Amino acid sequence: MKHILAGLVIAMAALVGTVQADEYPERPIMLMVSYGAGGATDFQARIVTMTAGNEDALGVPIAIINKPGAGGRVGWNWFATEADADGYTLAAYNIPHFIAQSIKGGVEYSKDSFEPIANWGADPAVFIVGTESPFNSMADVIAWAEANPGKLTFSGAGLFVGHHIAALQIEKAAGVTMQYVPTKGGGAAAMKAVIAGDVMAGINNLSDAYRAREAGNVKILAVADIQRNEEFLPDVPTMMEEGLDVDNSSVNFRGIMVPKGTPDAIIEKLAAIVPGMFMNSRVLGKMAAGGSPVHVMNREEVLAMWEERDAYLRELLKDL
């Protein structure tokens, strides 16, 4: 009897679950961005969710809320511990940031705290110098760094973010030590340090560096990705082409996730709809206008990418 009752309860729960998924979503959805309003992640999140209310998408609008602080740790801590796993609370993720932070410790999340839905963008890190800089290639930079160990200052947006990963990879690949100067306040402050000559070089987002180069403020020496960016920077070589064994591990992937414990039916429904929403022609137009590279991946591809990054970053960061 007990078993039958238990079975009934489970069946009821399953039934309620499917009913919920059928009706989901019936009210507006919140998307938490763990960076401030106006930053690249916030800006892109607002664009890719702007058509959520369309009938062929979710049919309800997505509202962005910002919980910035400590390179994203504040928002993701909140998301892992306090957010409701009901499908109405989504968050934007940044890879490698949150995985690198979880490996480094001191936070309440890991890749297993979240369930990815879909990826919308991939912003590779690039190596930049001011227009007046004597450096014209990565070879120039490495040669100077070899002659002056620890004296080459270069900026990036904080520790354990994509820029820092790229910095570590470059130092490891070339066998040199350089002085990485983390800034706070995202890529903008790191960019300012390069343009103003506070530091000798810098690592920054491809999209921001592309605009800075258009404005005549920086030279871009290499892109930390496995292939050139044909859309925005076809003339800039990859690190590999420059003779440095640096892959795409620092590429800043951005996408949407939900907390662990969200009903499977809701995850599946979101995973089925959201990639199409990212491919909406209006979304693509706005992303291209802002110089933001689009890279849509479905849930399975993102899961695989998270696994791969986690394993690689554990290896890279274990000596730190």
Partner 1 sequence: MEFLTYFADVFTVPAMLLLVGGTVGGLILGATPGLSPTMAVALLIPFTFQLEAVHGLILLGAAYTSTVAGGAVSAILLKIPGAPANIATTLDGHEMARRGQGARALQLAFLASLVGGLIGVALLIFLTPVLAEWALAFGPSQLFWLAILGVTIIGSLGTSSVVKGLLSGSIGLWLATVGFDDILGVQRFVFHSSLSGGISIVPALIGLFAIPQVIAMFAEGRRRSSIEAISVEKHPLSRAVRELLSKLRAVAIGTVSGSIIGLIPGIGGQIAGLVAYDQARKVSPDREKFGTGHSEGIIAAESANNAMVGPSLVPLLTLSIPGSPTAAVLLGGLLIHGIFPGTDLFDNHPDVAWPFINSMLIGQILMCVFGLYVASLAARVALVPKSVMAPIVLGLAVFGSYSVQHSMGDVYVMAALGTMMYFLERFGFSAAPLVLGLILGPIAESSFIQGSLIAEATVGPFAYFFGGALNILLVAIVVTSVGYSLYAELRSRRAARDAS
Q: Which stretch binds partner 1 (CB under 8 A): 219-227, 262-270, 282-290, 311-319?
A: 282-290
* 143 lies in the site for partner 1, by CB under 8 A: no
Pick out residues in 91-120 that bind partner 1 (CB under 8 A): 101, 104, 106
Give the C-alpha separation, 160 to 25, whole Å.
35
Give the C-alpha separation, 193 to 157, whole Å.
11
- Selected from 20, 143, 185, 237, the binder of partner 1 by CB under 8 A is 185
Closer of 63 and 304 to partner 1 (Cβ): 63
Bridge partners (DSSP) listed for residue 140? none
282 Cβ contact partners less than 8 Å away, ≥ 6 residues apart: 50, 51
3-class secondary structure, 89: strand
- Selected from 117, 125, 129, 152, the binder of partner 1 by CB under 8 A is 152
Closer of 66 and 110 to partner 1 (Cβ): 66
In the chain, alpha helices (H): 2-23, 40-48, 73-81, 97-104, 138-147, 162-174, 186-195, 206-214, 264-278, 281-289, 299-317
* 153 lies in the site for partner 1, by CB under 8 A: yes
Pair of tokens at residue 258:
């939900």
Shortest spacing between CB 108 and partner 1, in angstroms? 9
For 44-71, b/e burial (b = at least 16 CB within 10 A) is bbbbbbbbbeeeebbeebbebebbbeeb
Query: Please, what is the angle between helix 186-195 and helix 206-214, to 10°?
Result: 40
Quote the distance between the C-alpha of residue 206 and its chain's center: 13
* 320 lies in the site for partner 1, by CB under 8 A: no
* 191 lies in the site for partner 1, by CB under 8 A: yes
- Selected from 189, 226, 265, 284, the binder of partner 1 by CB under 8 A is 189
Quote the distance between the C-alpha of residue 276 and its chain's center: 19
Q: Which stretch binds partner 1 (CB under 8 A): 62-70, 165-173, 220-228, 269-277?
A: 62-70
* 60 lies in the site for partner 1, by CB under 8 A: no
Closer of 20 and 133 to partner 1 (Cβ): 133
- Selected from 60, 85, 139, 181, the binder of partner 1 by CB under 8 A is 181
Closer of 104 and 228 to partner 1 (Cβ): 104
3-class secondary structure, 130: strand
134 φ, ψ to 5°? Answer: -70, -15
Q: Which stretch binds partner 1 (CB under 8 A): 11-19, 32-40, 52-60, 222-230?
A: 32-40
Residues that bind partner 1 (CB under 8 A): 30, 36-39, 42-43, 46-47, 50, 65-67, 69-71, 73-74, 77-78, 81-82, 101, 104, 106, 150-153, 158-160, 179-185, 188-189, 191-193, 195-199, 208, 211-212, 214-217, 286, 289-291
